[in-house]
Chains A and B, each alone.
Chain A
């Protein structure tokens, strides 16, 4: 458990590298406070010596002095304000950078669990809350406290007994402020959390708007929204009511102090025990607290919410990263591309193993096809090779070296991945292709695009390779995105390739192009394919048939077909149909084949499938 003050201490750590600015800011603030305390003294002198004695010169002198003090105070408070805010933004810059670095290095396991909406709210609202406090907020808080102390000291110097009267209200003020902070703090956290829930509801409904509209479920979504929105309203309203209760109270307490000064100090002034100037100075000092005290509510609130927010930010920064490389990590240079799994088991969560004791060797340049039912562990195997996750047991070797001994970057720069739903960035087409090798010349980018059958459609866009992709640019079809992803992998030129030979929802011609591009990509690399196609399986050097996280069968297509195992079943159920097309394609398209195909089509009537 973290102590109550640990978060604050850690936040102060962010100020440390900027100690020079901190020093200037706080010294300036101190001087400004002292100078402010001087003004009532000057006015007092004017009243007592100038007015009472009728000395016009003393009055003018005082006016001049007030002006001088004002100039000095202006200069120091300029430094105070500027560096206070400078620190605010500097800490926010540092925090945001730290946050980004840890987000980028956290493994897939973290990102599987995290929600974008939540992470974004930590960056936007939580860092905002934190920065405001640690920079100018903290300084204002210190300034207010200093002023409070300074005023009390100045008053004591002015008149000891009168000050004692005002002391009680001032102590009450501090007590009320602290109490206010204590009450508001949990409320604040609750509001933040509820806002998070409300955001998720909105985000989800908007992300799934297609489904919402398809099922005409708008009323249902609005109902969900209203429910969370109402809760949020109640919480927020309650918390502001607390605020309304306390905040004006601060100023009233000050008024009590002034009242006491008049009530008890007045008679002393009447009887001549103190001068009118002294009474004025005392009242001035109390009034001086007026503005800072109105801010006190904000400041206390800021301090407590910064505590909540900063802990949410640090939570991400501190998330332990299990995928790290040792200090003496080896650089993988020009690997042959042999991949070996030794007794590899893996579980995302304790007790739910996805892979169990997987053993196999992929020789350099071999094509290894992975096949098996959904959830059998195919994607997991491909995710373990680039160390997106670490196996729970066993080890994975590339060229005979345990990948945990390798420099992460050198390992991953040898592995190219083409997934089914390619992600493209908000950048130009050229930048997207060169994502893995940003320094690649345009000629190479074009060559990669050509090899990936992407060049033609890129040229057809308005700005060619400089066309923006994504939100602010053109919308690409699934097939086009996939070809860009293939070009991206080609340019990256990895020794080991991981891909999915499926093409989702594209028309036949596009599919043709994609398959051709994949064939080029696979040449001369150790390739792992999550295979859907008979052709891929037939040409694979090794087929691993997975079921429930185990390799149940292995061999080539012909070997496996000879046995009557799971592969055979899968073949019968699904792959066999593709044979006819292969035959059809071999250039023997004649009446007979069309006829055969038609027969096949009739034989695929659903009832028959179910029978099988």
Chain B
């Protein structure tokens, strides 16, 4: 039996009612609370400009969106044409009914009645079939456009640099790929033909009305100024109201994402109640924003209905008078009344789609913004494939900076023979990572050049370069899937034997084979079912399987227990064997065993040599080396 835990029983706000909102909005305690809440979250909301989707801008976005329809131009045109036909047929309906009544019943001709009734049902049948074909066409186009756009965006994101990805959270990218692309889907599938239909119906009905009786048509159109006033009043307000709901919803989702990621800390520090209060503020604020938007919608539609009825009343009044004066037949009047009713349907529909349009435009803007980010690094047009290399690396007077007055790396010259182990040592920000990022061409040198086996990195494709580099990053990311799949990531065509061999070589085989499912063990999200050390060892096996000529390693130390640490050291050694390796070194064993230790400071090489040489120099390295274990000695 589950007993609700007391500490987790969190006070929920009273079940206040919608009436309070309606009748005592101002000056009530409720309103005070609302203002306090809005005050709290104001800082979290994005700036106004971020969301300012202006009118001229909408048309630009729309224009760009339309380019996605190009590959399906013929389908779209057919769909629009079908839509036009269907609209005409549906407009013809009331007219046909009117004719059937006039020529059949009022004129007393049964055959005429039969004939026009038959024409009516044939028109309806045709409308059904065209609609059916039209919807499946547009469904195809809409879904295809969405798939295309998502694919384009996904591919584009893979072209962007790591620098971009470091600054853009996966959560935000995902909401572009799923949320924003999803709103587009509804828009393309339903709205394009929907707008077309609304337009055709309005134009068609106006034409039909004038054809039937121009006086009544003018009477109907007399209510239009009212309609325009109402729409204008509504549009301005509803737009900002909807925008408020969207920004608040994204706040909620962002906070939720963070709450789930940080749940372990939250529970450790027993912050549940307080976090819920914050969440509730956001949730409540979203609710309030929605109520405002709802209120606006709620007054608009009855407004349209009322104007519609006003038109009907006028038509009945004026029309009846005309019929009495014998300048109008009763059938025409009936048809007219039916038209007036329908005239307001498309207006209602357009209004209903207004929110979708807004959301779509906002989504489009965000998607296009991402697509417009140029990858900062692309293969040069003349770049060739890097042939198999031996592993010689030369940094020739390499400098790197974002701004000329603040160099990150300053005239670095460094040579590594095949098989050399280069250990990069220095404080945070000394330039160790930059050297590695330049060599992997995640960044581009500003001055000087880097050559691998004599090939300038800029003259070869990134793919051919990286396929010969083994890169092991600090953050050992494992994919969901089996352990075998994860190791195989290093060489997709590797056999099971090769995988076991690689795992054995790095000392992973022992613990893997102890797992109940062995190599088929499924890795949980973020590798939660493996220890940090085990994840690291798996990532070594992955790199070993790739068998790169040059190994690039950002060592993460001490995050594992002592036994694992030993295994890792051996694995590293095995991994570096016979390869040129560049290591951001933290492990003593890595450092002392390096062919060359490169001591960096403020982007410059200050010392370079073997462990013994550098210790003897009693310089920078000597200090670093003796400092390392200082804190431990103190408590003794």
Q: Select the residue from A82, A97, A247, A371 with max chain B CB neighbours within 10 A.
A: A82
- Whether A100 lies near B276 (C-beta < 8 A) is yes
Contact with B along A5-38 (1 / 0, CB 8 A): 0000000000001101100000000000000000
- Whether B480 lies near A200 (C-beta < 8 A) is yes
19 contacts between A and B (CB under 8 A): A66-B313, A77-B301, A82-B294, A104-B266, A119-B260, A123-B253, A205-B158, A222-B158, A240-B189, A244-B133, A244-B135, A249-B132, A256-B121, A325-B6, A378-B561, A379-B531, A408-B5, A419-B264, A508-B627
- Whether B120 lies near A259 (C-beta < 8 A) is yes
Give the size category of B's interface with A: 35 or more
Tell me if A461 counts as interface (CB < 8 A to partner B). Answer: no
- Whether B306 lies near A374 (C-beta < 8 A) is no
Q: A78-B302, A93-B287, A266-B100 are in contact. Are A215 and B546 (CB under 8 A)?
A: yes
- Whether B634 lies near A105 (C-beta < 8 A) is no
Chain A residue at minimal CB-CB distance from B428: A507
**For the complex, what is the distance from the CA of A308 to the CA of B81, rounded to whole Å?**
37
Tell me if A511 counts as interface (CB < 8 A to partner B). Answer: yes
Out of A267, A416, A577, which one reaches B110, CB within 8 Å? A267
Q: A240-B189, A606-B573 are in contact. Are A252 and B6 (CB under 8 A)?
A: no
B572 to chain A, nearest CB (A): 9
Residues of B within 8 A of A479 (CB): 428
Chain B residue at minimal CB-CB distance from A234: B143
Give the size category of A's interface with B: 35 or more
- Whether B466 lies near A215 (C-beta < 8 A) is yes
Chain A residue at minimal CB-CB distance from B8: A105
Tell me if A183 counts as interface (CB < 8 A to partner B). Answer: no
Tell me if A539 counts as interface (CB < 8 A to partner B). Answer: yes
- Whether B317 lies near A63 (C-beta < 8 A) is yes
A66 to chain B, nearest CB (A): 4
**For the complex, what is the distance from the CA of A140 to the CA of B633, rounded to whole Å?**
75
- Whether B291 lies near A86 (C-beta < 8 A) is yes
Q: A89-B287, A280-B334 are in contact. Are A199 and B174 (CB under 8 A)?
A: yes
Tell me if A229 counts as interface (CB < 8 A to partner B). Answer: yes
Out of B144, B261, B622, B628, which one reaches A511, CB within 8 Å? B628
Which of B122-130, B210-218, B365-373 is near enough to bind chain A?
A: B122-130
Q: Which 5 A-B pairs have the closest CB atoms?
A: A70-B309, A255-B124, A240-B139, A535-B632, A59-B320
Chain A residue at minimal CB-CB distance from B338: A287
A/B pair count, beta carbons within 8 Å? 535
B24 to chain A, nearest CB (A): 15
Tell me if A159 counts as interface (CB < 8 A to partner B). Answer: no
Chain A residue at minimal CB-CB distance from B4: A324
Residues of A within 8 A of B634 (CB): 516, 519
Tell me if B404 counts as interface (CB < 8 A to partner A). Answer: no
Out of B117, B290, B316, B479, which one reaches A59, CB within 8 Å? B316
Residues of B within 8 A of A538 (CB): 636
**Residues from 551 to 598 in B contacting A, C-beta threshold 8 Å:** 554-566, 569-570, 573, 586, 588-589, 592-593
- Whether B631 lies near A218 (C-beta < 8 A) is no
Tell me if B397 counts as interface (CB < 8 A to partner A). Answer: no
Out of A325, A423, A435, A503, which one reaches B261, CB within 8 Å? A423
**For the complex, what is the distance from the CA of A111 to the CA of B549, rounded to whole Å?**
40
Residues of B within 8 A of A376 (CB): 561
Out of B12, B17, B316, B490, which one reaches A46, CB within 8 Å? B316
- Whether B302 lies near A59 (C-beta < 8 A) is no
Which of A144-152, A338-346, A441-449, A597-605 is near enough to bind chain B?
A: A597-605
Out of B5, B283, B472, B534, which one reaches A374, CB within 8 Å? B534
A276 to chain B, nearest CB (A): 6
**Residues from 244 to 282 in A contacting B, C-beta threshold 8 Å:** 244-245, 247-249, 251-252, 255-256, 258-259, 262-263, 266-267, 269-270, 276, 279-280
Residues of B within 8 A of A206 (CB): 157, 165, 170, 173-174
Contact with B along A67-96 (1 / 0, CB 8 A): 101110111011001110110011011001
Chain A residue at minimal CB-CB distance from B558: A502
Contact with A along B262-273 (1 / 0, CB 8 A): 111111111110
**For the complex, what is the distance from the CA of A259 to the CA of B100, rounded to whole Å?**
11
Tell me if A64 counts as interface (CB < 8 A to partner B). Answer: yes
Tell me if A417 counts as interface (CB < 8 A to partner B). Answer: yes
Residues of A within 8 A of B40 (CB): none
A548 to chain B, nearest CB (A): 9
Chain A residue at minimal CB-CB distance from B584: A505
**For the complex, what is the distance from the CA of A344 to the CA of B317, rounded to whole Å?**
89
- Whether B561 lies near A93 (C-beta < 8 A) is no
Chain A residue at minimal CB-CB distance from B269: A436
- Whether A276 lies near B271 (C-beta < 8 A) is no
Which of A170-178, A299-307, A393-401, A567-575 is near enough to bind chain B?
A: A567-575
Q: A21-B17, A213-B162 are in contact. Are A507 and B260 (CB under 8 A)?
A: no
Q: A222-B158, A241-B139, A252-B127 are in contact. Are A73 and B557 (CB under 8 A)?
A: no
- Whether B630 lies near A585 (C-beta < 8 A) is yes
Contact with A along B330-345 (1 / 0, CB 8 A): 1001100110010001
